[in-house]
Structure 1
Amino acid sequence: MSTQVATQNTLVKVILAILLPPLAVFMNSGLGTQFWLNLVLTIVGFWIVGVIHALIVVL
């Protein structure tokens, strides 16, 4: 049962990584360096770089 919950959690984080990269990183790592880096990458216009970074952090 816990494997299914972990899989569903990962699926939600991957979907969020595509739609809202900083939120996915925040859910995975908290309010640390990874979050701020992702937020800056996403805000300055490199949305796709923010998505890639979020997917790397989440997966």
Structure 2
Amino acid sequence: MDNKLILIILAILLPPIAVFMKAGAGLQLIINIVLCLFFYIPGIIHALWLALK
């Protein structure tokens, strides 16, 4: 439970870090970085989706 809470907090503050901790360096991380570069909110939503999945 503590790990999921940390992931949720990181997903809100620093989405790419949360995605990296959950999925590692791969396609999901690249998708999240692109989403964060264009718009910050979709990056947060994507990171939360991965953290809660």
Structure 2: distance between partners of 1:37 and 1:56: 13
Tell me the percent identity.
54
Structure 1: distance between partners of 2:7 and 2:51: 7
Gaps of 5+ in 2: none
Q: What is the Cα deviation at residue 26 of structure 1? A: 0.3
Task: Tell me whether 1:28 sits opposite 2:28 in the alignment.
Answer: no
Greater than 6 Å deviation, 4+ residue runs: none
Q: What is the Cα deviation at residue 43 of structure 1? A: 1.2
Task: Tell me whether 1:52 sits opposite 2:45 in the alignment.
Answer: yes
Output the TM-score relative to the length of structure 1.
Answer: 0.86
Output the TM-score relative to the length of structure 2.
Answer: 0.95
May I ask how many residue pairs the two structures share in their alignment?
A: 52
Please point out which of 32, 36, 41 is paired with 2:35: 41
Provide the alpha-carbon RMSD of the alignment: 0.5
